[in-house]
Homo-oligomer: A and B are copies of this chain.
Amino acid sequence: MRILILGGDGFCGWPSALHLSAHGHQVTIADSLVRRRIDDELGVQSLTPISPLSERVRAWADVTGHRIDVAEFDLARDYEALTELLTTFRPEAIVHFAEQRAAPYSMKSPDLKRYTIDNNLNATHNLLAALVHTGIDAHVVHLGTMGVYGYESVPVDLPEGYLTVTYPDRNGRSHTREILYPTAPGSVYHLTKSLDQLVFQFYARNDGVRITDLHQGIVWGTQTDETNLDPRLINRFDYDGDFGTVLNRFLVQAAVGHPLTVHGTGGQTRAFINIRDTVRCIRLAAETGDAVDGRVRVMNQVTETHRVADLAHLVAQTVGADISEVPNPRAEADENQLSARNDTLIGLGLEPTRLATGLLKESVEIAQKYTDRVDVSRIPCTSYWNRNRRSVATERVE
């Protein structure tokens, strides 16, 4: 298939592009390279030394003989470049990773809240408007997040996108209908993914655009079979307080002998997935677009759930480290339950890679290998979700 990867230079986008290319698909990457500019702006860098995108695709051609084309433009701003690419490449599937993806970054300042809303909504909407306008019937695979649902302790398995509810009319008669599972986003970033859902629903209903929305858990790990083939193909590994996800941050803290910083009690339960499973899920979703009709297909892209404190203990045991509780900058419950159904991806053939396997060891080794690249001062999260959180954190630190 001809597959366009929007945001194909990023942490999930790059290994997905390679995985799809390795499986015989004709891949084009579109990316504005903004993620690299944000590193510069924040004064941080990927733990792993990533190559420029042009060198990455050259290396991939060297090693495998597969060609990946690159188009550099900003999806949220450059609609003309998008329609031009659509009409020349004529993709059959489009994987859409091209959104600002960090919750703490989205809460850092009014300007970054505004950037996140403006960038993510216009990126998603430009893509859908362009598909309708050009008449290209490509299946859109979008990376969403489990985080749109918030983390209240509702004692249900989170279903895949929809919920069937019952309610009475004014005469007391009962009615049943299927609704989008109600969202309760916990940051401006999560809000944008919740907004995306309504945009997808509209374009699926009004114009018949085929859309799969993947509600992904927190990704851990770095390398995949494909990025392991050559050092120039190495994937990004973020450990900073804005873009680093919890497990990868713990691994770096352990590698440099820093206590593992747990927000609050660490009683937050979250859903996880290894990057190797992410790329497989993306492929399974992209290859099954014919099954999608005017109703958005939603899959929970998760393989397991863990309490954050349990993860900290697992890393502390494996590598040897202390654990330190710090004030939680987020406006969220200290403790919650969570379980989520993932029947659709399992049904498509996903065999989950679990945390207890040797892969945690691989991540530890990567973290240890590149400790000289770590700036310890950038590990803590310095965004606060609101005024109250900021003052609590400041008091406790002083």
Contact = CB atoms under 8 A, between A and B. Distances in A.
A80 to B, nearest CB: 11
Contact of A125 (B79, B114, B166): B114
A177 B163 CA distance: 12
A396 interface: no
B113 A125 contact: yes
A167 B170 contact: no
Nearest to A134: B110
Nearest to A150: B205
Contacts of A205: 184, 331
A191 B199 contact: yes
A202 B188 contact: yes
A99 to B, nearest CB: 14
A146 to B, nearest CB: 17
Contact of A170 (B122, B156, B184, B194): B156
Contacts of A188: 202
Interface residues of A, number: 51
Contact of A132 (B110, B129, B130, B164): B110
A122 B126 contact: no
Contacts of A125: 113-114, 117-118
Interface string A88-131: 00000000000000000000001001100110011001100110
A137 to B, nearest CB: 11
A397 interface: no
19 contacts: A79-B110, A110-B129, A113-B129, A118-B118, A118-B121, A118-B125, A121-B121, A121-B195, A165-B166, A177-B182, A179-B179, A180-B182, A183-B198, A185-B198, A185-B202, A188-B202, A194-B198, A206-B331, A207-B387
The 10 closest A-B pairs by CB, nearest first: A165-B165, A110-B133, A156-B169, A179-B182, A110-B129, A117-B125, A166-B166, A191-B202, A165-B167, A195-B195
Given A157-B170, A184-B205, 13 more contacts: A110-B132, A117-B121, A155-B173, A156-B169, A165-B165, A179-B179, A180-B182, A185-B198, A191-B198, A195-B195, A195-B198, A198-B198, A207-B386
Interface of A: 79, 110, 113-114, 117-118, 121-122, 125-126, 129-130, 132-133, 135, 154-157, 163-167, 169-170, 173, 175, 177, 179-180, 182-186, 188, 191, 194-195, 198-199, 202, 205-208, 331, 385-387
